[in-house]
Structure 1
Amino acid sequence: MTSVRHLMDPAYAARRATEADDHWGGIDTAKVAMLCIADPFWPDDCTPEHVRAAAIESLQADGAHYSSPIGERALRVEIAKRVARVNGLEVDPDRNVTVAGGSVPLFVHAMRPFLEPGAQNEILTPTPSWVTNFEIGPLAGGVTVPVPTYPEDGYDLRIDEFARRLTPRTKLVLIANPNNPTATLYSRRALEQLAAFARENDLIVVTDQAFEDTVFDGCEMTEIAALPGMAERTILISSLSKGMALCGYRIGYVVASEEITDVLHSSAAHILGAPSTAAQAAAVAALREPQFVEAYRAEYRKRADAICAMLDTVPDLGYTKPQSGYYLWLDVSAFGNAREVTEYLLREASVLLNEGDTWGSSDHLRLVYSTFADRNRCLSAIERMVDAFARHPKAAVKGKSR
């Protein structure tokens, strides 16, 4: 069988999965449910009509021309309104906002000014976390220092774990809130402690909030930038990809203090280039009429509730109850390591999940349940997975340990 680690690259997997005549080890990839791609409703169309129309109108007008390298002002104005509404922060669209083609390049762009070349500056990053969070540090010229979180805490932050890893080389803290892959939210208490830690040690906190639009009703998300003394030392990075299901439009943004933003703006043309003009027009339309996001969030919650009920029938399969997002962090240690279980599910259920190794755990898998616009089609894939676990050679005969 082709290396599952190679297949786990979502872009590669998605590309190959759409080739109906291609097979890996006898598996028809056209029939594999790609529960590993955090692109909502992939591969089905999900663009709201008013968003699509705005992109088309731009292409028919001036969409072929460069936009501002920091993002068109109309978009920055709408982002500032969104930040006030969603994050409770009053920001200036001209002095605090930078737009780019997706959020990924913004991490390196925003972190690089704090990392002295050759100094081995360190970035404290909770684990488990988004795969790229561990790679961004070296790409930006620093060193990633993983900070453990624990399932018994609901993967909340333990400030003493940060303190143990603090050195004179520590410059940044990088967190993802809501967390990806655990789908949990860091508690207000933990973030207040992290804020105090950052202030006391003169650290910058970079917060990845790509999934902030997916927080479930009844769950509280604390905005660390709104805590005392944190507006000037927090870099908030978000995007329209996840919550608005506009991954392909590639619009991300960073919100920071004027002092930080001045540096980001001065080099944006040389590093970020200019975001797509048509994509920005679509983003403006999405931000002005964002009601569709509520329907998406409600859909994710319905899927999560249904899937959790299904997983509860599998003895010895653990998972973290999601508070946001559209993914689950599965503890498959009773069935083998991540690679073994991934290969088993691919073979026996025609579903592909993310191996947890690069996310921070060799005995966990990330299950993305936003795949397909048709909920029943998604749940059908989960049913195949649950059935495969029931048939697994290591499946418990009776009882359930959690």
Structure 2
Amino acid sequence: MIISQKAQLISPSPTLAVDAKAKQMKSEGHDIIGFGAGEPDFDTPDHIKSAAIAAINQGLTKYTPVGGTKELKNAISDYFKKQLGISYAQDEIIVSTGAKQCLFNALYCLIDEGDKVLIPSPYWVSYTEMVKLCGGIPVLVPTIEDGFVLKADTLKNYIDKKTKVLMINSPNNPCGSVYSKQDLEQIAKLCIENNIFVISDEIYSELIYDDVEYASIASFENMLERTLIINGVSKTFAMTGWRIGFAAGPKQLIKAMENVQGHTTSNPNSIAQSASVAALTQKDNGVLSAMVNEFSKRRKYMVERINSMKYLSCRLPLGAFYVFVDISETFGKQCNGKTINNSTDFAQILLENFKVAVVPGIAFGADDFIRLSYATSMENIEKGLDRIEQYVLSLK
């Protein structure tokens, strides 16, 4: 079989080997603590599940418009108006099968062969591969020295005539950083000056801690027409499996994205769309705030424990539900005769010897780090961190 060149360009996820090993060990009866989860460990709220059941009973099980129902688009429009103070019309909104599809559709519609896409690094694993699939060139812009936040002074050094798109993610996966208004304003000015379009991934926008003020780059002057906001219900409402994402931006781009979607997946799930209307419009009786409070509690505990451990350090995340841990001081050290040379070694040795699964930082373009998710119970967090501490203390 002849595989296309574009498919061969796509790198396999560096996390697959560790993930497969963790699942195998778990199936063999080992007590594995997993810190890899990219989804809330809370159940979808009851009023959302009830809306889905009602949709089934009402026969709302047929095709919908490709870009989403009017009811859901209205709910999304109201949501953005309330959250960001931005008004979007029906033809400026698209609903897709998860935020990931929104991202891919947008890149496919924006990028021509050889166009460059600026991506702050560390980055979510699929950004670079999506760009390559669409014929673009991912250009990584470092942020580690600036607290995992993209700075305009750094960004300007990576812009050239082929630069077409900037992707930003705030709150950030894997680092948990949140961009300030000042940083976003400076980035916006640079994008306007250089005619760069922005894809702003805001999927974690409701998961913010310590009263940090949230802002979208789309809200700045002259940025509305050059920004596509990506969001969805998966993280905010614990609806990862429902597969509903949405995007809002210039109607010309939204129409192009809808055309692509019409020839690939067509409309998103009809029942999940009805459930998403309930998620965005009905009161949750404090479910979201309770989830955020619990995440914040776990976050603080995890950061305090990690920073008290030998060789390890991390920053306090301000959003999302991840801690990005610097493990570089463990490089060159050994555990049971095996040497740690990179994040993959660290993760594999940890899993094999101490039964804890983490995501190697190389998956996010940062080999000096590992990512831990605190979207798991406090009991698991305590047990898992105890094992990690035993691991680093055993290093020679």
TM over 0.5: yes
Letter in 2 for 1:244: F
Query: Aligned with 2:177: secondary structure?
Result: coil
Rounded to whole Å, the distance in 1 between the matches of 2:185 and 2:394 is 44
Q: Select which of 97, 102, 106 maps to 1:106.
A: 102
Rounded to whole Å, the distance in 1 between the matches of 2:34 and 2:188 is 38
Structure 1 residue ranges (4+ consecutive) displaced by more than 6 angstroms after TM superposition: none
Q: Map residues 341-380 of structure 1 onto 2, 5 A cutoff.
A: 341-371=346-376, 374-380=377-383
Q: Which residue of 2 aligns with 1:33?
A: 33
Letter in 1 for 2:62: H
Asked if 1:332 is matched to 2:320, the reply is no
Q: Which residue of 1 aligns with 2:224?
A: 231
Letter in 1 for 2:86: L
Q: Kindly tell me: are residues 304 and 196 of structure 1, through their superposed partners in 2, closer, same or farther at Cα, counting changes over 3 Å?
A: same
Q: Kindly tell me: are residues 179 and 266 of structure 1, through their superposed partners in 2, closer, same or farther at Cα, counting changes over 3 Å?
A: same
Q: Which residue of 2 aligns with 1:136?
A: 130
Q: Select which of 384, 387, 392 maps to 2:390.
A: 387
- Identical positions, percent: 27
**Structure 1 stretch displaced more, 248-257 or 337-346:** 337-346
CA-to-aligned-CA distance 1:289-327 (integer Å, 9 cap, x gap): 344211111110010111122112202311121101111
Query: Aligned with 2:206: secondary structure?
Result: helix
Pairs aligned (count):
372
Q: Which residue of 1 aligns with 2:77?
A: 80
Rounded to whole Å, the distance in 2 between the matches of 1:261 and 1:298 is 35
Q: Which residue of 1 aligns with 2:308?
A: 313
Rounded to whole Å, the distance in 1 between the matches of 2:60 and 2:33 is 35
CA-to-aligned-CA distance 1:241-260 (integer Å, 9 cap, x gap): 11221100111000102232
Q: Map residues 210-359 of structure 1 onto 2, 5 A cutoff.
A: 210-288=203-281, 289-290=283-284, 291-336=286-331, 337-359=342-364
CA-to-aligned-CA distance 1:53-88 (integer Å, 9 cap, x gap): 111222233243112211111111111111112222
Query: Structure 1 residue 217: deviation in Å?
Result: 3.2
CA-to-aligned-CA distance 1:259-291 (integer Å, 9 cap, x gap): 322333344322341111111111111112344
Rounded to whole Å, the distance in 2 between the matches of 1:187 and 1:145 is 23
Rounded to whole Å, the distance in 1 between the matches of 2:380 and 2:177 is 26
Check the 8 A contact 1:335/1:392 in 2, yes or no: no
CA-to-aligned-CA distance 1:78-118 (integer Å, 9 cap, x gap): 111111122221112x12110011011111211222222x3
Q: Map residues 162-173 of structure 1 onto 2, 5 A cutoff.
A: 162-173=155-166
Q: Normalising to structure 2: TM-score of the pair?
A: 0.89
Aligned residues: CA RMSD: 2.0
Rounded to whole Å, the distance in 1 between the matches of 2:390 and 2:298 is 18
Check the 8 A contact 1:103/1:238 in 2, yes or no: yes
Q: Which residue of 2 aligns with 1:200?
A: 193
Query: Aligned with 1:279: secondary structure?
Result: helix
Q: Map residues 37-56 of structure 1 onto 2, 5 A cutoff.
A: 37-41=37-41, 46-56=43-53
Q: Kindly tell me: are residues 112 and 5 of structure 1, through their superposed partners in 2, closer, same or farther at Cα, counting changes over 3 Å?
A: closer
Q: Which residue of 2 aligns with 1:400?
A: none
Q: Which runs of 5+ in 1 are unaligned?
A: 395-402
Q: Which residue of 2 aligns with 1:115?
A: 111
Check the 8 A contact 1:213/1:244 in 2, yes or no: no
Letter in 2 for 1:104: K
Check the 8 A contact 2:14/2:362 in 1, yes or no: no
Letter in 2 for 1:190: D
Q: Which residue of 1 aligns with 2:67?
A: 70
Q: Which runs of 5+ in 2 are unaligned?
A: 1-12, 332-341
Q: Which residue of 2 aligns with 1:397?
A: none
**Structure 1 stretch displaced more, 376-385 or 350-359:** 376-385
Query: Structure 1 residue 141: deviation in Å?
Result: 2.1
Rounded to whole Å, the distance in 1 between the matches of 2:179 and 2:267 is 33
Q: Normalising to structure 1: TM-score of the pair?
A: 0.87
Query: Aligned with 1:95: secondary structure?
Result: helix
Rounded to whole Å, the distance in 2 between the matches of 1:231 and 1:339 is 40
Rounded to whole Å, the distance in 2 between the matches of 1:269 and 1:98 is 12
Check the 8 A contact 2:14/2:363 in 1, yes or no: no
Q: Kindly tell me: are residues 5 and 101 of structure 1, through their superposed partners in 2, closer, same or farther at Cα, counting changes over 3 Å?
A: closer
Check the 8 A contact 1:4/1:343 in 2, yes or no: no
**Structure 1 stretch displaced more, 198-207 or 51-60:** 51-60
